[in-house]
Chain A
Amino acid sequence: MKNHPDLSTLLAYSSGTLRTPFALLVSSHIEKCHECSGLYNLGHEIGGKLIEEIETSDVEESDYSIFLEKLDKESKKNKINDKGYDFNRKSLIPGVLQPYIGQDLEDIKWSFLAFGIKKCQVKVGDGEDNLLTLLKIKSNKKIPEHGHTGSELTLVLQGSFDDEHGSYKVGDIAEHNGESKHQPFVSSKEDCICIISTDGPLIFNNYLANKLQSFIRI
């Protein structure tokens, strides 16, 4: 894998301070990327060391016997309800995304966005901001050139795309922020399916695309 999240993004993910849509994409990348999983674990070691050094003198001591009563009740409850999501480890869809978009790319319900481009939006939490956008783009198709008002993470699920900054294949993450512009185009023979999280609207150079921005909602 050649394209990874920015180190600052990976660090924020390790500390648990990334918003859910971004966290899901970083987590998906880490599932397949040995290099980033090592760094993610380094992040947890940082957390572990800081927790050892934390000042506790102003924290009231907890009653161990009250905790044991709760542990007893919870253990019984968990034995009855202990059935989590059944992940499909052979799926092309990363495990963390499966509860939201299913286990097969063929099952995604697409809607028309523009010629050669289909979209599907998935809520990953409450509130309008907790959205992930899936795009399915035909081979050789170009997305209009655009800039960003916030951060944008794109994870490739199928095929590949290129832009001015690099070439992105399955599992790669493209990260852009307010300073960068790009015009992605699909470089694979098959359709490219990617999943995108943004925290600010895109700014298209194309007048029509800009007018459609509120409809596109990415």
Chain B
Amino acid sequence: MFEIDKEFIKKFQINKNANDFEVVFRYYAPRIKSLLIKGGADVAQAEDVMHDTMINVWEKLHMYNADKGSFSAWIYTIARNNRIDLLRKKSSKPYTDINEIEIASENDDGQVIAEKKSISLHVKNAINLLPIKQRKVIELSFMNDMTQDEIASKLEIPIGTVKSRMRLAYQKMKDNLKEVVA
């Protein structure tokens, strides 16, 4: 399968042409939809949020900074925020995420919050090194969009155990990635 690598993204950012965007769309659109459906969205909602996410990708492409993280992480963050927005559509109060503050100040280096070193290459190994029980809570949280309470119910374990598995998993990943995470 064609892999979207750093060079491709760099070229895409510079040229911003429809052909490259179609490659990005074909790769990420089904993944975003699958993520959303796993998280409980129906097919129509997943299609809508995927569309919103890809529109954001096109319109905010110049804001992606490869030094801050991987393109997949950037797209994941946009999809995550659009999903949160979908959940709050019924709410009278819009939700502001820290990413929007960052986007609002794209030319201001004073409060750039993201880590500058690329950690993408090491993350996959760090996830794979986790014990199965810890990886499971991470997947349920990130892929199935479950709160700690929901994970506790699904796995029939106390919420304290969910928290401690998450804590251990994060700590382990942090230790495994200490060379690249400040």
Give A contacts to B, CB under 8 Å.
6-8, 10-12, 14-20, 23, 27, 30-31, 34-35, 37-52, 54-56, 58-62, 64, 67-68, 70-71, 74-75, 78, 84-85, 87, 89, 95-96, 99-100, 123-126, 130, 179
> Contact at A99–B26, with CB atoms within 8 Å?
no
Asked whether A125 and B93 contact (CB < 8 A) given A54-B143, A67-B25, the answer is yes
| A74 vs B43: C-alpha distance when bound (angstroms) | 21
Give B contacts to A, CB under 8 Å.
18, 22, 25-26, 28-35, 37-38, 43, 47, 50-51, 54-55, 58-59, 68-77, 79-81, 83-84, 88, 90-98, 100-101, 104-105, 108, 110-111, 113-115, 119-120, 123-124, 127, 138-139, 141-143, 145-148, 160, 162-164, 166-167, 169-171, 173-174, 177, 181-182
Asked whether A42 and B123 contact (CB < 8 A) given A52-B31, A70-B51, A89-B110, the answer is yes
Task: Identify which of B35, B58, B74, B177 contacts A71 (C-beta below 8 A).
Answer: B58
Report whether over half of chain B's contact residues are helix, strand or loop; otherwise say mixed: helix
> Contact at A17–B96, with CB atoms within 8 Å?
no
| A-B contacts besides A18-B147, A49-B70, 13 pairs, CB < 8 Å | A12-B147, A23-B95, A34-B182, A40-B113, A44-B69, A48-B70, A49-B124, A49-B127, A51-B79, A54-B35, A62-B33, A100-B93, A126-B90
| A54 vs B50: C-alpha distance when bound (angstroms) | 15
Chain B residue contacts of A37, Cβ below 8 A:
113-115
Task: Identify which of B25, B96, B145, B148 contacts A8 (C-beta below 8 A).
Answer: B148
| A205 vs B182: C-alpha distance when bound (angstroms) | 42
